[in-house]
Chains A and B, each alone.
Chain A
Amino acid sequence: MNRRTFAATAAVALLATATAGCQKDTAGGGSAEYPSKTLQLMVPAAPGGGWDLTARTMQKTMTDGKLLDQPVEVYNVTGAAGTIGLAQLVSKNKGDAHHLMVMGLVMVGGVVANKSPVKLDQVTPIATLTAEQEVIVVPANSKYTSLEQLMADAKANPASINWGGGSAGGTDQILVGLLAKAAGADPKAMKYVAYSGGGEAKAALLAGDLTAAVSGQSEFKDLVSAGKVRALAVSGTNGVDVGEGKPAKTIKEQGLDVELMNWRGVVAPPGISDADKTAVTAFIDKLHSSSGWTDAMKAQGWEDFYKSGDEAAAYFTAENERITSVLTDIGLG
């Protein structure tokens, strides 16, 4: 087969695939122009965490669902709540629309707490994808049966409550700060002990070091359903089941005006053209509306938290302001 016949055959084959694609899925519509080369997906954290899982699920969904003809590469840049990855995206990948980074609320906090020289407003927001609620748990033998009681004591005698959760300035501590603020307590006076990862905090709660632990909703599921810990509240708009077999009460339902979603999203490097930005957004839109993504979210227990384009940009800005303010109140800003 000479080169021309090969090209012709390939073109026919491609056309056939494209037509088949059209018939099955009108929204998908054949081979898109973006991505036109290998899509690089940076995870600004170590393998195995939430961002990593998000990126690898995206990779799997894109590849399995044939949303693109190009390979997808996931790589990890670890460090400092993702701010090292952020700095790298801004300095090394400027203008490259085939280089996306997974990020989320934790990075918003990390930029503030680590006083990162590179800010989040320097990147191009693409979309928020998923979110997980936070859960507040106490040991099964704790005297606290409602969030109200816990917060009343936290206000009257902050030193009597040992809060525990993930890294300093992360989602968990942000939630404690927001709760204190809403309950009229001093966010700075909250005694928060940071643990690396949910495992350590779990052990500390079971051993009796902590009064209450704050974590992602799925983290304590097994211990809740085994009756070893009790869930007091979740941080979303609607209660989710955190292991009790019924939706847990939200913070709002218990009279405190606090909502916090640990959301995860995608950003592109700075300096990409408007056309590129539209193409990337359209591609992520396509990912989000694929059936593979819906299945993956369901399997992982992620809530759909999709905002793209201008809506995403506005949300990034709003979250940035809110998180900066609460971290400043805690004394980490």
Chain B
Amino acid sequence: MNVFGDLLSGFGTVLTPEYLLYAAIGVTLGTFVGVLPGIGPALTIALLLPVTFSLDDPIGTFIMFAGIYYGAMYGGSTTSILLNTPGESASVATAIEGYQMARRGRAKAALATAAIGSFVAGTISTLLLSLFAQPVAKLATTFRAADYFALALLAMVAVTALVGRSLVRGLLSLIFGLFLGVIGIDGLTGQARFTFGTMELLEGIDVVVVIVGLFAIGETLFVASRMHHLPEHVTPLESGAGNHKSWMSRDDWRRSWAPWLRGTAVGFPFGALPSGGADVPTFLSYTYEKHRSKNREQFGKGAIEGVAGPEAANNAAFSGVLVPLLTLGIPTSATAAVMLAAFQIFNLQPGPQLFDNSPELVWALIASLYVGNVLLLALNLPLIRVWVKVLQIPRPILYAGILVFATLGVYASTGSVNQVFIAYGIGVIGFGMRHFDFPIAPVILGLILGPMMELQFRRALVLSNGDLTVFVSRPLTAILLALVVVALLVPYLPRIVARLRGRPAESKRLTFAEDD
């Protein structure tokens, strides 16, 4: 089949004033909703589902949904960068360096690299989706439970850089996240764990609630506690002349383009894996950039690579997620699950035959992704100027607002007052962690990867009747686990080599969790 011909006709469908309007509405709506902590794209699309009933236009609906997704993701990074309050797990990695950049008056550059990086990654990954959807889907369905376990383990080992300055503090944070992850009904046996007999905890603690608690509420409490030691408001703009015109300096471009491409390379395949999603690749991208950057000393103090990479990975993952959704009907993220429901409302069944049965819709959807990307860039680059003004709002008002929206967000996404209390409880813990200098990101990491590792490990063992050789009997699993060993050993390699040669170790460990 001629992919480009199909894609061209897709563009033909999308590039009408009506559909462009849908895309613009989607992007704008998504951006504004994404700015609210706790309300992610999945919830927005879910809330809009009834509206689409009455639209009765599948193509328009999906164009709008794609716009919402991109917009919400971008909105999420905006708050991560400006206020250290990521709205969902995929923006947590962005917050680490982005907020530091904003604090140093580099908010414009951070927002710009996020927007342009999203655009670059979105465009490339959409191209990959158009060209390789079918073969990638085939590859993704060769992953078995044992492979997922190995992959999760690899991700866990690879992102240890998030642990930060103190290994003990980092590991404690990670363990706290792992603990939060096991609360609730155990997926395999249906047994309740750590619920203390309450109904509310049966479903576990939603990662959104944890993120809003740790970041938005924790940050607010922290800022409130040191109100009198902080300047009136954050420097919104870099001092010095000439910076008001351009968003990114030549140096920023030079440091951003490679992370954009690498982020795309990580994000797309991870999104395509059934069980993927956008969060793991953003952490992987962050770690990788930190690991190989020439400006490693800037990490933790606002390195632009740490924003460019994760943002690209985040956007690329969405096109990845569409691969199994469109070709096999397998949703791999919350947003994809809601979109699957939307497909079914229009009586369309995504799967191997969707490309043959409804080519017009599929290619229009793919074309709308390109259009959404362009619109997002067109809307957001000029808006950066406006967003940065947020930082000029006096702190008490700004953080009161964050608190209101955080509360609203949790309530809207869970519909439960108890979850709001849980978020505040976690917020107090987040305040304590900040006060005692514990890193926050490992909590999210443990919460996401922990349950995945545990579930897949046990699944693999149940399926193999408890035979542990299942983890080495297939090449894919064995290779992934070998990579885990390599990732663990590499930092110590210089020392081992030195000792083998009978010399005292001259250099310390290589890079993974070094002081920064």
Q: Taking the complex as formed, is A150 at the interface, i.e. its CB lies under 8 A from any CB of chain B? A: no
A213 to chain B, nearest CB (A): 12
A47-B49, A193-B463, A197-B331 known, 7 other contacts, Cβ within 8 Å: A48-B340, A49-B341, A53-B345, A77-B415, A114-B192, A206-B328, A222-B349
- Residue-wise, chain B 44-56 has the 8 Å CB interface mask toward A (1 for contact) of 0011011001100
Q: Taking the complex as formed, is A12 at the interface, i.e. its CB lies under 8 A from any CB of chain B? A: no
B194 to chain A, nearest CB (A): 14
Task: Take A74-B50, A202-B329, A225-B353 as given contacts and tell me if A167 and B187 are in contact as well, using a CB distance cutoff of 8 Å.
Answer: yes
Cross-chain pair count, CB within 8 angstroms: 144
B506 to chain A, nearest CB (A): 47
A223 to B144, CA, bound (A): 19
Of B172-180, B196-204, B215-223, the one contacting chain A is: B196-204
Task: Take A47-B46, A196-B187, A223-B328 as given contacts and tell me if A78 and B415 are in contact as well, using a CB distance cutoff of 8 Å.
Answer: yes
Chain A to chain B contacts (Cβ below 8 Å), 12 pairs? A47-B46, A48-B340, A74-B50, A76-B46, A78-B415, A79-B202, A79-B203, A87-B199, A162-B462, A209-B144, A222-B353, A222-B354
- Residue-wise, chain A 151-164 has the 8 Å CB interface mask toward B (1 for contact) of 00000000100100
A99 to chain B, nearest CB (A): 14
A206 to B328, CA, bound (A): 10
Q: Is the CB of B50 within 8 A of A199?
A: no
Q: Is the CB of A48 within 8 A of B203?
A: no
B99 to chain A, nearest CB (A): 31
Q: Using Cβ atoms and an 8 Å threshold, which residues of chain A touch B329?
A: 199, 202, 222-223
Q: Using Cβ atoms and an 8 Å threshold, which residues of chain A touch B345?
A: 53, 56
A residues with CB within 8 A of B? 46-49, 52-53, 56, 59-60, 74-80, 83-84, 87, 113-114, 116-117, 159, 162, 167-169, 191, 193-194, 196-197, 199-200, 202-204, 206-210, 218, 221-223, 225-226, 228, 299-300, 332
Of B135-143, B290-298, B303-311, the one contacting chain A is: B135-143
A332 to B330, CA, bound (A): 28
A117 to B198, CA, bound (A): 10
Q: Is the CB of A208 within 8 A of B144?
A: yes
Q: Taking the complex as formed, is B414 at the interface, i.e. its CB lies under 8 A from any CB of chain A? A: yes
A173 to chain B, nearest CB (A): 9
Q: Is the CB of A47 within 8 A of B341?
A: yes
Task: Take A47-B49, A53-B345, A114-B185 as given contacts and tell me if A222 and B144 are in contact as well, using a CB distance cutoff of 8 Å.
Answer: no
Task: Take A53-B341, A78-B415, A83-B199 as given contacts and tell me if A207 and B331 are in contact as well, using a CB distance cutoff of 8 Å.
Answer: no
Task: Take A203-B141, A209-B463 as given contacts and tell me if A56 and B50 are in contact as well, using a CB distance cutoff of 8 Å.
Answer: yes
A47 to B335, CA, bound (A): 11
| Chain B residue with the shortest CB-CB distance to A159 | B465
A87 to B470, CA, bound (A): 42
Q: Using Cβ atoms and an 8 Å threshold, which residues of chain B touch A193?
A: 188, 459, 462-463
B residues with CB within 8 A of A? 43, 46-47, 49-50, 53-54, 140-145, 185-190, 192, 199-200, 202-203, 274-275, 324, 328-332, 337-338, 340-341, 344-345, 347, 349-354, 414-416, 459, 462-463, 465
Q: Is the CB of B328 within 8 A of A47?
A: no
Which one of B189, B274, B349, B353 contacts A218 once the chains associate, using CB atoms below 8 Å?
B349
A87 to B202, CA, bound (A): 13
A156 to chain B, nearest CB (A): 15
Which one of A75, A77, A199, A208 contacts B337 once the chains associate, using CB atoms below 8 Å?
A199
Q: Is the CB of A114 within 8 A of B202?
A: yes
Task: Take A48-B338, A78-B415 as given contacts and tell me if A200 and B274 are in contact as well, using a CB distance cutoff of 8 Å.
Answer: yes
User: Which of A46, A78, A114, A168 is most buried by chain B, counting CB atoms within 10 A of its CB?
Assistant: A46
A242 to chain B, nearest CB (A): 12
Task: Take A53-B344, A83-B199, A193-B459 as given contacts and tell me if A199 and B330 are in contact as well, using a CB distance cutoff of 8 Å.
Answer: yes
B265 to chain A, nearest CB (A): 23
User: Which of B142, B144, B351 is most buried by chain A, counting CB atoms within 10 A of its CB?
Assistant: B351
Q: Is the CB of A80 within 8 A of B341?
A: no
Task: Take A203-B330, A206-B141, A299-B347 as given contacts and tell me if A197 and B200 are in contact as well, using a CB distance cutoff of 8 Å.
Answer: no
Q: Is the CB of A207 within 8 A of B141?
A: yes
A204 to B460, CA, bound (A): 11
Q: Is the CB of B354 within 8 A of A78?
A: no
Q: Is the CB of A167 within 8 A of B328?
A: no
Q: Using Cβ atoms and an 8 Å threshold, which residues of chain A touch B145?
A: 204, 209
Q: Is the CB of B274 within 8 A of A223?
A: no
Q: Is the CB of B351 within 8 A of A168?
A: no
Q: Using Cβ atoms and an 8 Å threshold, which residues of chain A touch B192?
A: 114
A200 to B141, CA, bound (A): 10
B147 to chain A, nearest CB (A): 8
Q: Is the CB of A203 within 8 A of B199?
A: no
B213 to chain A, nearest CB (A): 18
Q: Is the CB of A169 within 8 A of B202?
A: no
Q: Is the CB of B337 within 8 A of A197?
A: yes
